[in-house]
Amino acid sequence: MTHEPERETSDRHRPVLLQRCVDLLAPALAAPGSVLVDCTLGMGGHTEAVLEQVPTARVVGIDRDPQAIALASERLARFGDRFTAVHAVYDEIGDVVANLGLDGVQGVLMDLGVSSLQLDEVDRGFAYAHDAPLDMRMDPTTGQTAADVLNTYDERELARILREYGEERFAGKIARSIVRIREERPWSTSAELVDLVRACIPAATRRTGGHPAKRTFQALRIEVNGELEVLDRAVPAAVEALAVEGRIVVESYHSLEDRLVKRVLQRGATSSAPPGLPVEPETHKPYLELLTRGAEEADGAELDDNPRAQSVRLRAARRTRPTPDHLRPNREATR
């Protein structure tokens, strides 16, 4: 694996909407010993800002990528026992919190999608700008690779993934070409895939919308890492891990991600009482309060400074009361 020791970790990653995230979380972390779970630790940029600006807070950082755990732990060593790293997938937040002996936490942060670390490490195969093995696993120690997907999924399933996860207009044509080429040789490197996608997309279309392979690579990454399935379990589990007055902040970069987050937060912020009741029963009152008006986006100044903020959608909520028993998710369903 290619490492870049000459570059400071903080130089390799500019967290998106960093100050906004800290400002939203800080009120819930004001009491000494308050705990934030950073579900997507990455290289620790958001966590570092919280630890610096909120001296009362502790942070538990979760990441499925062992390299991210190592780099962030080195970066954050100066905070001593105020920072704890846990190698896990973030839908395991309930188990992580329980294993640390906590009844609940005061903050949860999720910064979804691929991290700067994974994009910048050429050998991981996430980036379409460099030729590399088609891996794309956030945890390179387990699971199927992008090459496995390309070499084993049938044409219909490949087209569905490209269409749903990549919003690729030419999904059918790309899928047919993938299957045709693998009959001659198995897929192994990213440059081959970039060339195929470019050939499948009309020249006029390639002139706009960024790199022509962007949507295909995004779709494969989401499939390889089961990102939407993990998120679908993780957001309800994160809400359940929050103590009353705790806050959750989620940054999404894909419409399907944002839709899942919006559904869970709006469900918690909406009365579950049948319409027309003269008095709302206590057990049906909302248990979340939305802290953002819709999904917040990056402003022009941030976009100029950090192109990776282009598609961010930020949502946040505060827990106002425990989740009523009849609305609490099945623990097994959120694992």
Q: What is the pLDDT of residue 200?
A: 94
pLDDT at 2 (0 to 100): 39
Mean pLDDT in residue range 110-129: 63
Which ranges constitute the DSSP H helices of the chain? 9-12, 18-25, 45-53, 66-75, 93-99, 116-120, 146-152, 155-166, 171-182, 190-200, 203-206, 214-224, 227-241, 255-268, 300-305
Provide CATH 1.10.150.170 ranges for the chain: 139-224
Say which CATH architecture domain 139-224 belongs to: Orthogonal Bundle (1.10)
pLDDT of 256 above 60: yes
The pLDDT of residue 7: 45
- Return the pLDDT at 330: 65
Q: Is 211 annotated as a binding residue?
A: no
Q: Is the pLDDT of residue 115 over 80?
A: no
- Residue with more model confidence, 174 or 117: 174
| Residue 106 counted as an annotated binding residue | no
pLDDT digits (tens, 9 = 90+) for 183-206: 999 999 999 999 999 999 888 777
The whole-angstrom separation of Cα 190 and Cα 125 is 6
Which residue's entry shows tokens 């279309």? 205
Where along the chain do the CATH 3.40.50.150 domains lie? Answer: 9-117+227-334
121 falls in which pLDDT band (50, 70, 90)? low
Q: Is 45 annotated as a binding residue?
A: yes
Cα separation, 221 vs 215, whole angstroms? 10
pLDDT at site 56: 97
**90 a known binding residue?**
yes
Q: With 60 as the cut, is the pLDDT of residue 156 above it?
A: yes
Higher pLDDT, 120 or 140: 140
Question: Residue with structure tokens 């206590």?
Answer: 282
Reply yes or no on whether the pLDDT at 227 is more than 70.
yes
Mean confidence (pLDDT) of the chain: 88
Distance CA 145, CA 136 (A): 6
Asked if residue 253 belongs to a known ligand binding site, the reply is no
- Which residues, in sequence order, are bridge partners of residue 133? 189
Residue 3 scores a pLDDT above 70: no
Give the number of residues written for the chain: 335
Give the mean model confidence (pLDDT) for residues 26-42: 97
pLDDT classification of 213: cutoffs 50, 70, 90: confident
Q: Is 128 annotated as a binding residue?
A: no
Q: What is the pTM of this model?
A: 0.87
- Say whether 258 counts as a known binding-site residue: no
Q: Which helix (H) or strand (E) holds 249?
A: strand 242-252
pLDDT at 170 over 80: yes
* pLDDT of 1 above 50: no
CA distance 263 to 276: 23
Fold of 9-117+227-334: Rossmann fold (3.40.50)
